[in-house]
């Protein structure tokens, strides 16, 4: 699978995740535009990368993808409920992670940020798990040279799409529906 550039690779991850999330009715056909949250990607990614790389190279590579989707969901919730406060937090990723610890950040976000009941928590865990597995498998099938710049850029592109899909899922859950303007 030869890709011409990183944008093409990112689009592959986006298309796959979008189609899956549509099939389980977690997002709308049209993805949301959330510039406040999209602008946070660079600082979030920079802060998240040491944890993501550790997990990806360790025993739980799919966790690297899943946890960033939870971060996207949490930030969408913060944006909806009290953005004037949360937008002032210097490092929102560290803020979330340090509420408990990296290993339990998913449960913290589901229970304390998203306020999901047990059934909703299970549904979200299953969906995030499937998104993470799909993304990890797609990345592995690209057969990129381990440790190369291309592999790193592709890894970041995959994380970015997981983050954006987390935002889209949570905005939909909060009642924001993206439709075409007639």
Tens-digit pLDDT profile for residues 101-148: 999 999 999 999 999 999 999 999 999 999 999 999 999 999 898 889
Q: List the chain domain ranges.
A: 34-173
Q: Which token pair is 180?
A: 């075409």
Mean of the per-residue pLDDT values of the chain: 93
What's the whole-number mean pLDDT along residues 18-39? 94
Cβ partners under 8 Å of residue 161, min gap 6:
10, 13, 14, 17, 135
The rounded distance, in Å, linking the Cα atoms of 23 and 29 is 10
- CA dihedral 103→175→77→25, nearest 10 degrees, is 20
| The total number of residues written for the chain in this structure | 182
pLDDT score of 7: 78
């Amino acid at each position: 699978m030869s890709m011409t550039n990183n944008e093409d690779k990112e689009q592959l991850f986006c298309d796959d995740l979008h189609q899956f999330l549509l099939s389980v009715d977690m997002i709308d056909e049209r993805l949301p535009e959330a510039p406040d949250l999209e602008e946070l990607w660079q600082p979030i990614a920079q802060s998240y990368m040491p944890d993501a790389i550790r997990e990806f190279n360790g025993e739980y590579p799919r966790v690297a993808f899943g946890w960033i989707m939870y971060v996207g969901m949490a930030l969408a919730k913060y944006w909806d409920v009290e953005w004037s406060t949360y937008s002032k937090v210097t490092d929102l990723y560290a803020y979330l992670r340090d509420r408990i610890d990296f290993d339990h950040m998913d449960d913290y976000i589901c229970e304390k940020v998203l306020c999901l009941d047990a059934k909703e928590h299970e549904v979200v865990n299953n969906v995030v798990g499937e998104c993470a597995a799909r993304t990890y498998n797609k990345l592995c099938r690209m057969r990129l040279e381990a440790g190369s710049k291309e592999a790193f850029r592709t890894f970041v592109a995959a994380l970015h799409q997981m983050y954006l899909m987390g935002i889209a899922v949570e905005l939909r859950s909060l009642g924001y529906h993206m439709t075409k303007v007639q």
